[in-house]
Amino acid sequence: MFFKLLLALAAGYLLGSVSFSIIISKIRGDDIKKKGSGNAGLTNVLRVFGPKAAAFVLAGDVLKAVAACLLGYLLTAGEFGSHSVFDAANPNIGIMLAGTSCVVGHIFPVYFQFKGGKGVLTTATVVFMIDWRIGLALLCLFIIIVLITRIVSISSIIAAACFPVACIIMEKPAYCLVYAIAIAALIIIMHRQNIGRLLKGAEPKLKIGN
């Protein structure tokens, strides 16, 4: 069982390390880490390269997170958590571990000098795999805040902070609440520079195109 957990963690990390924002920028003959905010994430790709490039990054990051979660489930089903991949009442721990490992890989990709994105989209996908209802609620909250503020970072921070709250409201098992607190803390920590700019009123607003 321990070996299966390690395998799920390793597979999730290696999948997460495939940074589609960096790959897309290199295909375009550029380096996203030297453009815009310097962050290898979806929002910076959208700002720098536009919606078409961002769509490829979005699809890639979602698919790698789904693949990691499914692999985690296949490796641990029946031993850690539910036998069902979509059992919201009792999420499979393999899904959570492999998904989290995928997020860590996205943030610290082994293939790209451990310099990746902030992990928001990857984390959102993992949340959907754990409980689509919570995922949908947080996505709606994120979109509403973006529409009001046009600031992606504050929308991501608030949505992440609400993840543990949603677990309490939905009466999730204790291990889900601990997981939610840990993943929310990770996302907020990754936005520490954004928080500094927000406090100074210097955080850029989302603009599409020129």
Number of other residues whose CB lies within 10 A of the CB of residue 197: 15
> If you search the block for the tokens 């996203």, which residue do you land on?
32
- For position 210, what pLDDT does the model report? 43
Q: How many Å apart are CA 136 and CA 147, to the nearest integer?
A: 16
CA distance readout (Å), 64 to 19, 99, 150, 168:
10, 9, 27, 28
87: which DSSP letter?
Answer: -
pLDDT tens string 118-129: 999 999 999 999
Residues 104-160: pLDDT tens digits?
A: 999 999 999 898 999 999 999 999 999 999 999 999 999 999 999 999 999 999 999
pLDDT of residue 82: 55
The ranges assigned to domains in the chain are 2-200
Prediction pTM value: 0.88
For the chain, first and last CA: distance in Å? Answer: 53
> CA 72, CA 80: separation in Å to the nearest integer?
10
Asked whether the beta carbons of 95 and 125 are under 8 A apart, the reply is no
DSSP E strands in the chain: the ranges are: none
Q: Quote the pLDDT of residue 59.
A: 96
- Put residue 133 in one of left, alpha, beta given phi > 0 → left and psi -120 to 50 → alpha: alpha
Q: Rounded to 10 degrees, what is the CA torsion of 134, 140, 141, 143? A: 140
> What pLDDT shows up at residue 41?
86
Q: Which residues of the chain have a pLDDT value below 70?
A: 1, 78-89, 208-210
